[in-house]
């Protein structure tokens, strides 16, 4: 029996929630903003917010899973012996960004009362198709492109607008990675005026 | 007071949400739409989301080597063009508890294109052996 819910039904009963930040506190638009947010003592999770933040946790966990995969993928690339400097340094730098995203997302999920997804014991990468530096760069570019789309999909549905702002900040970082990788591949780094 | 640009945006969003698929599904366009899915999904590999080869006709949550949410595993859904259309429009609303934290594909034509492409590649033995 199919129990998929009719999409016209309301998702949750409660929509009001306390803002993450109050008073004069401001969120810095940086890749580590979520971590700063998660470290804010005003993030004590109350029952009302816990009831309404479920979707945000789901969305952030989806992003976390993609970030964990990106970290592992760059590790695979770095250890492949196929990346030459300065491309290797670029990849390691991007991996560090993704590690920061992982840390920030996990802290925020915990702060929202959720449980961060654990990375799988092994990732399934198409290693049979990764035989050159260009192969690895293309693979990484695909991951970054996917990440851009994922964050683009997350921004409008995060109920907390500060979280949406931070997700947009990470989106910008991923988009720069994607552009740089395309440039390294000799492709147009910015192929269109819009991303989807 | 709403701004004119805000009203235009709202009207655009509603139009995109409400408009039914009016054209025959375009699988090439569907492949482009699938690019939005590749952060988490692949045709032939489980990633943070399950693989899509063989999706049409499959019972939701039934791949033995993927850890589904309880909601998905117990949903009883069989993936057809209709159930995929409803789920992809609003995953979090259609199936509360799903791990798929994604806004959805709001445009009906885009969903039709995407589902048509998924149906086609699922039958392509060179991609999905």
Is B89 touching A (CB cutoff 8 A)?
yes
Q: Pick from B36, B38, B78: which is nearest to A2 by CB?
A: B78
The DSSP line for B109-127 is HHHHHHHHHHHHHHT-TTT
The structure's pTM equals 0.76
Classify domain A33-39+52-117+129-184 by CATH number.
1.20.1260.10
The ipTM value here is 0.74
Closest-CA residue of A relative to B46 is A124
Cβ within 8 Å of residue A122, ≥6 positions away: none
List CB contacts (< 8 A) between A60 and chain B.
101
B37 vs A1, residue with greater confidence: B37
pLDDT tens for B55-83 read 999 999 999 999 999 999 999 999 999 99
| B18: closest CA of chain A, how far (Å) | 11
Residues B78 and B73: their CA atoms lie apart, in Å, by 11
Q: Where are the domains of chain B?
A: 4-122
- The answer to whether A38 and A108 have CB atoms below 8 angstroms apart is yes
Query: What class is the B4-122 domain?
Result: mainly alpha
- Predicted pLDDT of residue B21: 67
| Cα pseudo-dihedral B62, B67, B72, B74, rounded to 10 | 70
Q: Pick from A5, A55, A62: which is nearest to B94 by CB?
A: A5
Residues A19 and A52: their CA atoms lie apart, in Å, by 12
Contact state of B92 with A2 under an 8 Å Cβ cutoff: no
Q: Is the pLDDT of residue A25 over 80?
A: no
* 3-state SS assignment for residue B78: strand
Q: Pick from A69, A117, A157: which is nearest to B103 by CB?
A: A157
Q: Where are the domains of chain A?
A: 33-39+52-117+129-184
pLDDT tens for A97-115 read 999 999 999 999 999 999 9
Substitution target in A153, A160, A163 with the highest count of B β-carbons within 10 Å is: A153
């Amino acid at each position: 029996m199919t129990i998929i819910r009719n999409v016209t039904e309301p998702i949750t009963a409660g929509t009001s929630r306390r803002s993450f930040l109050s008073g004069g506190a401001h969120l810095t638009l940086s890749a580590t903003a979520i971590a700063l947010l998660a470290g804010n003592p005003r993030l004590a999770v109350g029952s009302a917010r816990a009831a309404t933040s479920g979707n945000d946790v789901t969305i952030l966990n989806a992003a976390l899973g993609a970030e964990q995969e990106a970290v592992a993928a760059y590790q695979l690339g770095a250890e492949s012996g196929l990346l030459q400097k300065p491309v290797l340094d670029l990849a390691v730098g991007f991996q560090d960004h993704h590690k920061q995203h992982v840390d920030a997302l996990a802290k925020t999920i915990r702060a929202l009362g959720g449980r961060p997804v654990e990375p799988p014991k092994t990732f399934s990468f198409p290693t049979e198709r990764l035989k050159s530096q260009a192969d690895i760069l293309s693979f990484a570019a695909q991951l970054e492109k996917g990440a851009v789309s994922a964050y683009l999909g997350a921004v409008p549905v995060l109920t907390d607008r500060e979280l949406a702002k931070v997700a947009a900040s990470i989106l910008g970082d991923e988009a720069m990675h994607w552009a740089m990788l395309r440039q390294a591949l000799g492709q147009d780094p910015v192929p269109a005026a819009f991303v989807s | 007071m709403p701004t004119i640009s805000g009203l235009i945006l709202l009207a655009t969003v509603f139009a995109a949400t409400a408009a039914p698929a009016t054209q025959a599904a375009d699988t090439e366009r569907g492949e482009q739409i699938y690019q939005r899915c590749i952060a988490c999904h692949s045709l032939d590999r489980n990633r943070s989301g399950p693989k899509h080869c063989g999706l049409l006709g499959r019972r939701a949550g039934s791949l033995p080597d993927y850890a589904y949410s309880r909601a998905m595993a117990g949903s009883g859904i069989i993936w057809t063009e209709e159930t995929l259309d409803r789920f992809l429009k609003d995953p979090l609303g259609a199936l509360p508890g799903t791990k798929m934290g994604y806004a959805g594909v709001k445009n009906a034509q885009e969903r039709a294109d995407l589902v048509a492409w998924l149906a086609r590649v699922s039958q392509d033995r060179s991609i999905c052996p």
